[in-house]
Amino acid sequence: MLFFRDPAVLVNDSIARNLTKVYHVINIEKSYSNPLLVLNEDHPKLRGIEGLEIYKQLSSQFMIHHIAASGTEATVITTWFTSLPFKKALLYPYYSGSLIDHIKTAIGTGSLYLKAYKPVLTPVEIYTLFHTTPLPSGQLGIYSYRFIEALWRIEPDLLLTPYEGVVETYILD
């Protein structure tokens, strides 16, 4: 199993431990030492290309039938993994539905959004920010605003509709 980890998810090790009870797990976590690379080079489409390349390289050495992802990475992998022969996907996202709906819910209920990233902006401010053209430079957790904006309207459930494998989703608190 490939496990794409969002570094901000504090329970990654617990998730990995539970997964290793059933699967052989290969942990994958992207990190940047240069913050400018995060702002200028990181994007979900590039992550998809990287994910396909990782799968291609590792599947020549190992039998890989399953995929898992935590946090924001759970949304990112839904944009590309369905084209591969995975039998099962285990997703551990921060929210169900789209990020825009998650932010709107935070606005309506006065609750926090993406707590693991310790956001400085209020839900109204982040919503307004993502409707600004051009989008300013900045980061939310380890992800650039541009990266997060690319995930803004993605509905994982819709992307997974044609997928024939099993999908299990566990929302992180």
Q: Domain locations in the chain?
A: 2-169
DSSP 8-state class, residue 114: S
- Within 10 angstroms of residue 96's Cβ, the number of other Cβ atoms is 14
3-state secondary structure of 43: coil
Residue 153 has what pLDDT?
Answer: 85
Which tokens go with 22?
């059933």
pLDDT of residue 159: 85
pLDDT of residue 144: 92
List strand residue ranges (DSSP E) for the chain, in order.
Answer: 2-4, 26-28, 66-70, 88-92, 139-140, 143-144, 166-169
Q: What is the pLDDT of residue 84?
A: 93
Q: Which fold has domain 2-169?
A: Rossmann fold (3.40.50)
pLDDT at 37: 77
pLDDT at 151: 92
Q: What is the pLDDT of residue 87?
A: 97
Identify the three-state secondary structure at position 27.
strand
Respond yes or no on whether the N-terminal peptide bond of residue 136 is cis (omega within 30° of 0). Answer: no
The pTM for the full model equals: 0.93
What stretches in the chain show pLDDT beneath 50? Answer: none
CA angle 91, 95, 98 (to 5 degrees): 100
Task: Report the pLDDT value the prediction gives residue 41, as an integer from 0 to 100.
Answer: 80
Q: How far is CA 102 from the centre of its chain?
A: 14
> 33-77 pLDDT, tens per residue?
887 877 878 889 999 999 999 999 999 999 999 999 999 999 999
